[in-house]
Structure 1
Amino acid sequence: MAEEPNRLFRTAADHATGYRRSLPGRPVGVPVDQEALTRAFSGPLSRDPSPPERVLAELLAAAEPGLVASAGPRYFGFVVGGALPAATAADMLTAGWDQLATNAVTSPAAIAAEAAAGAWLKDLLGIPASASTGFVTGCQAANTAGLAAARHRVLAEAGWDVERRGLLGAPPIRVIAGEERHGTIDRSLRLLGFGTDVIEPVPAGPNGAIDIEALRMSLRAASGPAIVCLQAGNVNTGACDRLGEACELVHRHGGWAHVDGAFGLWAAASPATRHLVDGVELADSWACDGHKWLNLPYDSAFAFCARPDVHAAAMSYAAAYLTGSGGAPVGADLTAESSRRARGFAVWAGLRELGRDGVAALVERCCALARRFAQGLASAGFEVVNEVVLNQVLVGFGDDARTERVIAAVQADGTCWAGGTTWRGRRLMRISVSNATTTEADVDLSVAAITRLAA
C-alpha cells in the first residue's frame, strides 16, 4: 500500500513537469469545444470505487484538450503571471502536507511560514513592518478584508459597533473611489452591505490615475465618515494614483485610505519604478496579488492592514473548540476563511527563490518588455493608446469592429494570447506582461503574429 501513493504522486509530478516543459512551444490558446470537454468530465458517478491510477489517467485525458498555456511566456491576458519553480514545488508539498492553516495550533509550520513571508512582503512593498498580513485567495478577498477593516474603524469612531449591530441604522458612510477603479471594489462593497450606490466616483486623469484636485473637492464636499479607495496600477493602463498626496488628504479629513494594488503595488520592489507608489506607507490598508507579478501559483494574495487590531476585529471569530496561540492575530483571524489552505509555504519559497534583487529584476524586465511591445506595434502602424508606465499596453487597430476581429484572430492563432477591454469608450487590445519566463524573443514573435493577423 505504501508504494501506491508514491507511484501515483510521481506520475502526477511527471505529467506536471512535462506540461511545464511544453509551455514555450505549446499553442497558447486554441478554440475548444466546451460541450465536448464537459462531456469528457461528465457521466454518471460509478457506484464502486475506482483505482487512483485510473482516476488520474482519466483526469489527464479529459483535461488536456481544455488547458490554456496561461503559465507560459506568451500569455498576455488578464495580468496573469506564471508559477516559479520553487513556489510550484512548495505548492505540491502543501497539497501533500494537507495542513489546516487556521492558527498556530492547527499548523505551527504554516503560521511560521506566513509570519516570515509576510515580513518579507511588507519590506518589498514599502508597507510598515507593524502591519498585519492576511493570506487570501485573490484581490477580491484582499479588498474585502481591507474594506471590512475600514468599515469597522470609521463606524467605531462614530460610536457604532458594526460587527454586533450591522449596518441597519448605522451612521452613513461615504465611499469615495476613482471612476476607473477595478470591479472588485464594487463587489466588495456589495458583499459588505454598502451597495454600490454609496460610491462617489472621482474623475481620472489622462492615463487613468485619480484626479487629485477632484478628490480634494470631493472630500471637502460633505462631512461624515469616509473610506477612500485608491489604486496602484490601473488595470488598463498601469497608472498609479499619487498615493502619498491622496493619503494625506484622506487623513486630513479623518478618513480611511485603502489601496487596491493587485499588481501595481509591486512597483515598490524596484528602484526604477518605486517613485510611482511614493507615499504608499501612509495608507491604512492594502490589497496585493501574489499570483500576478510575483509569479506564484494560483491562488495567492495578501490583505495588509496598518492596524492589526482593527483587521482582526473586522475578520476574526471565536469558537469554544478553537484555541489560538495568543498574542498577535494570525491565520484565520485576518481572513474570511477559517479552514484555510497553507498558502504561505509557496509564498515563502517564491520569495526565497527570487530574493530582493530577483523581484526587482522581474518588475524591471516586464516593464521593459511592455515598452518593447508598444514600440514594436507602434512601428507596425498600430495605435498605442496609453502611456506605458508599468506592464500594461493598450492597442487600437482602427475602429472597434476591426480591433475585435484582430483580438479574436490572435486568440485563435495560438502564438500568443491577449484580451480585449473597453477604455474611454473604445474597444482595445490589452497586453499584460507579467510572466517571469517571457523573453524579448517572445515579444518579437508575438508582435510579428499580431501584425500578420491584423493584415
Structure 2
Amino acid sequence: MAHGDDGCTPALAAAAGHAQAWLDSLSHRPVGPSLHASELAAVFGGPLPPAGMPADEVVNFLANAAGPGLMAMPSGRFFGWVIGGTLPAALASDWLVSAWDQNAGLRYATPATAAIEEAAGQWVLELLGLPSTADVGFVTGATMANFTGMAAARWRLLADAGWDLDRDGLFGAPRIRCFVGRERHDTVDLGLRYLGLGQPAQVPADGQGRLVPAALDAALAAGTGPALVCLQAGNLHSGAFDPFTEAIAVARKHGAWVHVDGAFGLWAAAAPELRHLMRGCEEADSWGTDAHKTLNVPYDCGIAIVRDPSALRAAMGLHASYLVHDAEGPGDPFEKVPELSRRARGVPVWAALKSLGRDGVAAQVGGLASAATAIAEGMAALDGVEVLNDVGYTQVCLAFGDDDTTRAVTARIIEEGRVWMSGSRWRDRDILRVSVSNWHTSDDEVAIAVDAVRSALAAVRNS
C-alpha cells in the first residue's frame, strides 16, 4: 500500500453515506427492529473467511446487513427506558474522537483532549451549580459514574476511620454501612457490589419513590461506624427527586458521605423552571450522571463528580515510572476514572455544550419535561387510561385497568411500531412507562404517542 493510501477515504465516505441514510430514515421508519439477533447471527457469523475484504466493502456490508436489526433509538418517537438521541455537534465530534485516536489518559501526551475535557468538566459544574473545585471524570456511563463516586467515598470513609485501604484491602476493615432509598436504581446496588460493600439497607420511600428523611435518620441512628447514603435525582418510574436538603442534613448529622445518582435527573439543575427539584443537591459529596441521556451525546459519556479530589485520586489513581506527567497541570485524566486507556469521551460533551450554550441546555432539558407533561395530559384525557405518577420531570407511568390489559396494550404498541414504550412494574402494578429523553421529540411526536396509545387500547378492547 502506497504512503497515504490507507483505505480510509472510501471507507469513511461509505460510512458517512450510510450514517446519513440512517438518520434520514428516523422520521418514518418503524421504531422496533424487524429481525431478531438469532436471525442475524448467520449473516454476521460463520467461519472467519481466509481472505479479507476491502474496508469500504466491509462498511457497505455492515450497514446493509445490520439495518433490519437496528432499533430507531435516536427517533423522537422512542420513549423506552431512558435513552436520549445525539445532537449534531456531539455526533460529529465523536467521529473526530475516533479519527484522532487519542488515548486520553495522560495530559502530557494528549494536551488537546485533556484541555477540552477540563473545559467540559468546568461547564458541567457551572451548569449544575456544583462546587467549582470538584473533580470531574469522564467514564463509560451512569453505572461507572456511581461506582467512581462511591469508590471515592469508600476510600475517604475508611481513611477517616484510620484504615489504610490501599495497603490492607477490605478484609478486617471497619464495615461501611450503606443506605439507599427503596426505589433507587439497581445500578447503585451493582456499584456497591463491585466495591465489596455488600447489600445496602433500604430506607422507606413515599408514594412517588422519594426517600423519607425521618426514616433515614432512624436507620442511621440504629448503628455506628462509617456510613454512605445514596440519594436519587430522577426516579426511574415517577421521575421524582429525593428531598436533598432534608436528607443531606440528616446524613451530615451522622457523619455520612452522600452520593447522588443523577443518571438523567441531575440536568434538571440547568433549567430554571426545574431547578427547584435539585434544591440542596449541591451539598452532597459526589454525583453521577450520564450525558447520553438528558444532554443527548453518544454513548460512553458518563460523568463522575467528586467534591474531594484527594479522595477520588487516591481511589482511582496510580503512579508508574513509565507514565509521563504534566507538571504544570491539575493532574491526569486517568486519576479520576477506573481505567488508563480510554477514548476522549469528554469531547462530545464539550461539543454539545458549546453548540447549545447555557440557554440551549436549559431549553432542551425544559423541553423534555414539557413534552412529558403534554403526553401525560393527552393520555389522561383518554378513556380508561390512568396516569399513575405526579409528572414533574420526564417520566410518565400509565396503566389501563388490570395488569393483563396493560401488558396487552404495551405489546400492541410495540408490535405496531409507530412509537416504542417499555413495560415495567411499579407500585405492585404492571405499567407502560414513557420516558422523554430525546431532543427530537416535538409536538408532532407527542401527538403520535398519544394516538398510538389510543389506537392500541382500542385494538385490545375490540380483540
- Give the TM interval when normalised to the shorter protein: over 0.9
Query: Superposition RMSD on alpha carbons, in Å?
Result: 1.2
Give the Cα–Cα distance (whole angstroms) in 1 for the partners of residues 38 and 259 of structure 2: 42
Letter in 2 for 1:133: V
1:268 offset after TM fit, Å?
0.2
Tell me whether 318-327 or 131-140 shows the greater mean CA deviation.
318-327
Tell me whether 31-40 or 378-387 shows the greater mean CA deviation.
31-40
1:198-248 deviation line (CA, Å, top 9, x unaligned)? x11101112111111111211222211100000000111110011122112
Letter in 1 for 2:437: S
1:7 offset after TM fit, Å?
2.2
Letter in 2 for 1:166: G
With the length of structure 2 as denominator, give the TM-score of the two structures: 0.96
1:208 alignment partner in structure 2: 209
1:330 offset after TM fit, Å?
3.1
Letter in 1 for 2:354: R
2:8 alignment partner in structure 1: 5
1:31 offset after TM fit, Å?
4.3
Letter in 2 for 1:8: A
Instruction: Point out where structure 1 has 5 or more consecutive residues left out of the alignment.
Output: none
1:401 offset after TM fit, Å?
1.7
The equivalences for 1:52-63 within 5 A come to 52-63=55-66
The equivalences for 1:217-256 within 5 A come to 217-256=218-257
1:364 alignment partner in structure 2: 366
1:414-452 deviation line (CA, Å, top 9, x unaligned)? 100000111111110110001111101111111101111
Work out whether 1:304 is the aligned partner of 2:266. no
The equivalences for 1:428-439 within 5 A come to 428-439=431-442
Work out whether 1:442 is the aligned partner of 2:445. yes
1:32 offset after TM fit, Å?
2.3
Give the Cα–Cα distance (whole angstroms) in 2 for the partners of residues 161 and 325 of structure 1: 28
2:344 alignment partner in structure 1: 342
1:49 offset after TM fit, Å?
2.5
Query: Are the aligned partners of 2:12 and 2:56 in contact in 1 as well (CA < 8 Å)?
Result: no
Three-state SS of the structure 2 residue aligned to 1:149 is helix
The equivalences for 1:340-419 within 5 A come to 340-381=342-383, 382-419=385-422
Give the Cα–Cα distance (whole angstroms) in 2 for the partners of residues 324 and 402 of structure 1: 61
Three-state SS of the structure 2 residue aligned to 1:25 is coil
Work out whether 1:425 is the aligned partner of 2:428. yes
Work out whether 1:274 is the aligned partner of 2:291. no
Give the Cα–Cα distance (whole angstroms) in 2 for the partners of residues 248 and 387 of structure 1: 25
1:117 alignment partner in structure 2: 120
2:320 alignment partner in structure 1: 319
Letter in 2 for 1:269: A
Instruction: Point out where structure 2 has 5 or more consecutive residues left out of the alignment.
Output: 459-463
Letter in 1 for 2:256: G
Give the Cα–Cα distance (whole angstroms) in 2 for the partners of residues 91 and 179 of structure 1: 37
Work out whether 1:151 is the aligned partner of 2:123. no
1:350-407 deviation line (CA, Å, top 9, x unaligned)? 1011110011001111111101111111111200000001000000012112111111
1:173 offset after TM fit, Å?
1.1
Three-state SS of the structure 2 residue aligned to 1:24 is coil
Tell me whether 248-257 or 429-438 shows the greater mean CA deviation.
248-257
1:103 offset after TM fit, Å?
1.3
Work out whether 1:99 is the aligned partner of 2:113. no
Runs of 4+ residues deviating >4 angstroms: none
2:67 alignment partner in structure 1: 64
Letter in 1 for 2:240: A
1:317-366 deviation line (CA, Å, top 9, x unaligned)? 22221122135333111111111110121111110111100110011111
Match of 1:25 among 18, 24, 28: 28
1:194 offset after TM fit, Å?
1.4
Letter in 2 for 1:162: L
Match of 1:74 among 60, 77, 81: 77
1:67 offset after TM fit, Å?
0.7
Letter in 2 for 1:346: P
Query: Are the aligned partners of 1:73 and 1:435 in contact in 2 as well (CA < 8 Å)?
Result: yes
1:134-173 deviation line (CA, Å, top 9, x unaligned)? 1011111000001100100111011001122111100111
Letter in 2 for 1:181: R
